[in-house]
Structure 1
Amino acid sequence: MASSFVVGDTFRKKVTGLLDNTNSCLPQTLREELEELLEKSQPTILSFSTARKLKKYLQDKGHSPGQLHEFLEDSFLHLPQVVKPPRNPELVARLEKIQAKLANEEYNRMTRNVNTQEINRNGTLADFGREVRSVKAAVVTVFNFLVTVVAAFACSYIGSQYLFTETTARVISAVIAASVVGLAELYVLVRTMEGELGEP
């Protein structure tokens, strides 16, 4: 926090004139402080306490209270440089460990879904095997559906000879039975596929 001014040439000239003036009866302590200030080389530091004494003197002598600003016309606040305390080496080491740990966790989180066994952009042999198994399962499902429908048609056609004597009636009943079985098989197949797709 600022506690003093760095005064310029205007202050030095006005204070010199004030000290040289025999009519000015400056208090002894203020005179000594001002003389000591003038003896110092640049930059000249004027403390707030000395500035207050000078202002009080100017007010007591009938000068306007604002006259002090004329003395400090080319002056500016002296802001002391803040000295940072040295950091504790144990604390620095702990912070570095924590930062390394957090960076490692972030890296693991970002690379969690990366497959390190991938050989090229097309995938590995395991991916190819999974695709072959899924195609195989689809072919087996279609073949199973066709066999079921054909078997239902054949059973209905052969079994209907005990009910119908005409071939047309036997074929119609076999088609109806095969259609019912086919629709039931499709329903079961769709429900199974929905269940597989719904799994996480």
Structure 2
Amino acid sequence: MPVETIEDPYVKLKLTQKLIDFIVKNVKNEKNVPHNIKTLKNCAQNKRADCTLSLKDIKWLKTFLTEQSNGKKKVNLHELLEGVDVQLPQPKITPRNPDLEARIKKLRAQQNNRDYRAMTKSVDNTRKYLPDDSLAYQMKAINKQLIAVFTFVVTVAAGFAFGFWGIFWETEGVDLGFRLLIGIICALIIALAEIYFLAKSLSEDYDELPASQPLSKRPHQD
């Protein structure tokens, strides 16, 4: 799932009842008291458990304990922080589009199926001699690709010829450079269209091959 930036990068501490009671009892509302500690003291008793402190508040509390320990029983900070829940900053996670998630699962399942078929092919007698292992099948696939390339070249050349000669036959006295420009533009448009449809056709054939080509079975011989 896509992860966004962290909105609140500060570490927060979820307080225990022992620490809450100590702050409420001993800390007074003075000017140098941090905002979070003031909020803890002034909020209702049933909502104090939801309050949090930052690391700066803990540093201030450590200084406060050091100043208050003169002539009194010393209170250690680690004793007050015992059992405190530390909340680390978490990035916001955006859920994926359901259609995209379904598409990814489908592609992953197809890829796993292809990997499994390739891995078990050598030990499965029903698929050990499939047509794609034969030389004729390989030559047929190469010829299909060569035909696609030849068709692409001929189509692009025909588009260039149409743009180069068509404007000449339509309007006499056209400059050669302008005719070349028109021919190249026509050939480029046709080439882009051919590449798009060729890539789309190859992608569809690649995706549908595992589902549309069942395992070949040889008849049982007694």
Which protein has the larger Cα radius of gyration, Structure 1 or Structure 2?
Answer: 1
Q: Above 0.5 in TM-score? A: no
User: Scaled by the length of structure 2, what TM-score is found?
Assistant: 0.40
User: Scaled by the length of structure 1, what TM-score is found?
Assistant: 0.44
